[in-house]
Amino acid sequence: MNKIQIMVIHAKRAWVIIRFLVITHALSNQINPKSKNKKNQNKRSVGLDFSINLLERYLSYDLERGKLFWKPRPESEFTNSFSHKMWSKRFSGKEIVAKNESGYITVRINRQSMPAHRAMWILAHGKIPDGLFIDHINHIRHDNRISNLRVVTHIQNQKNLSMNSRNTSGVNGVRYDKKSGKWLASLCHKDKTYFLGSFKTLDEAKNVRLSADDRFGFHDNHGEDKYLRQVYIDPWNAV
């Protein structure tokens, strides 16, 4: 093998590596605008929401089905035509389905992420007031239908939680105490735990706990994953 052939082989390998890096950069960032050096453009801190203008610029949406899609983007927003071509091939017109480690669908724009359910609410109603949360009424974290979302305070959000995975009684806030042989009922409200009593039967403890839920304003779905007991049709009807 002569020097020219060796140089050709090295050149081909270098091209493969460069091409791989360009593709990875284009797809991982999803947007690679020419204006990225303008430090203040679309600047946002981690944990803040995207503006409705930014969301409408890059996303199309179906509020009834709770779906978000990437809009096509002009080549002018990318550093080169190859990045634009690769992004368009993979994302343009496609539904956003990527989830974070907690199971929530996320939207990533300009190297920043936000939960899709917050994006859906903003697109439907505008800005979310500071300090408020968007709650999934039926506890299904990827069910972002607008009818399944509500704006709540932190305390309200804590009053519509799924059943604790360690619960063995089937009733939220009720557990069996082997030492006394009785059922213990308790409730947590504003970071304070209230002991509701000890009872001979599960039904007694359940009734006391449900009565306390009403008194403290807990949501009907708190501790009740009702959709798990229904015949599965699809995520949009499982309420």
CA distances from 132 to 105, 113, 162, 166, 179 (A): 19, 18, 19, 28, 42
The answer to whether 122 touches 50, Cβ cutoff 8 Å, is: yes
Report the pLDDT averaged over residues 142-158: 86
Residue 16 — pLDDT band, cuts 50, 70, 90? low
Smallest CA-to-CA distance from 140 within 99, 98, 101, 104 is with 104
**Which pLDDT score is estimated for 24?**
57
Percent of the chain past pLDDT 90, that is, above it, reads 34
- Please name the amino acid found at residue 27: L
Return the domain boundaries, the chain: 3-156, 161-218
Proportion of the chain above pLDDT 70, given as a percent: 67
94 pLDDT above the threshold of 80: yes
Which residue carries 């690769």 as its tokens?
Answer: 86
Residue 117 one-letter amino acid: H
How far apart are the C-alpha atoms of 115 and 47, rounded to whole Å?
Answer: 10
Which residues share a beta bridge with 151?
Answer: 134
* Token output for 143: 């069910």
Token pair of 212 as six digits: 């306390």
| Residue whose C-alpha is closest to residue 24's, from 88, 64, 98, 83 | 83
Q: How far apart are CA 189 and CA 194, in angstroms?
A: 8
Q: What value does the mean pLDDT of the chain take?
A: 77
Predicted pLDDT at 28 = 52
The more confident residue out of 161 and 75 is 75
- What's the maximum distance between 2 C-alpha atoms anywhere in the chain? 91
What's the CATH class of domain 161-218?
alpha beta
Secondary element (H or E) of residue 21: helix 3-29
Report which residue type is found at 38.
Answer: K
Q: Give the tens place of pLDDT for each residue, 104-144.
A: 999 999 889 999 999 999 999 988 988 889 999 888 899 99
What does the alpha-carbon distance between residue 61 and residue 166 come to, in Å, rounded to a whole number?
A: 37
User: Which comes out higher in pLDDT, residue 33 or 146?
Assistant: 146
What pLDDT is recorded for position 37?
41
Q: Which pTM does this prediction carry?
A: 0.61
Sign of the dihedral defined by the CA atoms of residues 89, 91, 92, 93, in that order: positive
* Domain at 3-156: CATH architecture: Alpha-Beta Complex (3.90)
At 23 the pLDDT is 58
What are the Cα distances from residue 98, in Å, to 37, 40, 95, 188?
27, 27, 9, 33
